[in-house]
Amino acid sequence: MAFNHSIKTGFSFGLTSGIITTLGLIVGLYSGTHSSKVVIGGILTIAIADSFSDALGIHISEEAENKHTNREIWEATISTLVFKFLFAITFLAPILLFPLSHAIIICLVWGLGLLCAFSFYIAKEQHARAWKVIVEHLLIAVAVIILTHYVGVWIGLKFA
């Protein structure tokens, strides 16, 4: 990836947050409602609201470091917004094209596959053992997915 630091920050944060947040939301909403409408609404909400929230978080974080130019700060902000939105929105396609139970599996494979591929890239950039980086990142993602699944089940039972 031949991006400058600011764009790389936005890309890596947007990809990671877009995948983990959206998968957690999808799984939690599906487990609690089994409703395509609710899952679609959740994905759109994440793509819009969380993209702006994360972009502002990156913006403030980059400002707080007090070592970036105004241009670098805005590049990181805008790239975070764009990449988070784009990665989150990709999860709509399976929900719109397949029965929900199948779409959830496709989303999990898609998201975890992207996370593995990016983790492999990071490992190669850092000259680290790829399997260690991939396992570390997958464990965090899977923990989020499991926790949100059980929260969704609990909400579905509690408020049914």
List the end-to-end C-alpha distance of the chain, in Å, as a whole number.
47
Residue 109 or residue 4, greater confidence: 109
SS3 state at 160: coil
Is residue 31 within 8 A of residue 148, CB to CB? The reply is: yes
Q: Which structural domain, as residue segments, surrounds residue 87?
A: 5-158
pTM of this prediction?
0.93
pLDDT (0 to 100) of residue 122: 95
**What are 98-117's pLDDT values in tens digits?**
999 999 999 999 999 999 99
Residue 1 has pLDDT above 70, yes or no: no
Q: How confident is the model at residue 37 (pLDDT cuts 50, 70, 90)?
A: very high
What are the tens digits of pLDDT across the range 6-24? 999 999 999 999 999 999 9
Kindly state the DSSP code that residue 90 receives in the 8-state scheme: T
Q: How many C-beta neighbours within 10 Å does residue 11 have?
A: 21
Residue type for position 105: I
CB 88 within 8 A of CB 44: no
* Statement: residue 124 has pLDDT above 80: yes
- Report the number of distinct structural domains present in the chain: 1
CB atoms within 10 A of CB 16: 21
Q: Identify residue 142 by its one-letter amino acid code.
A: V
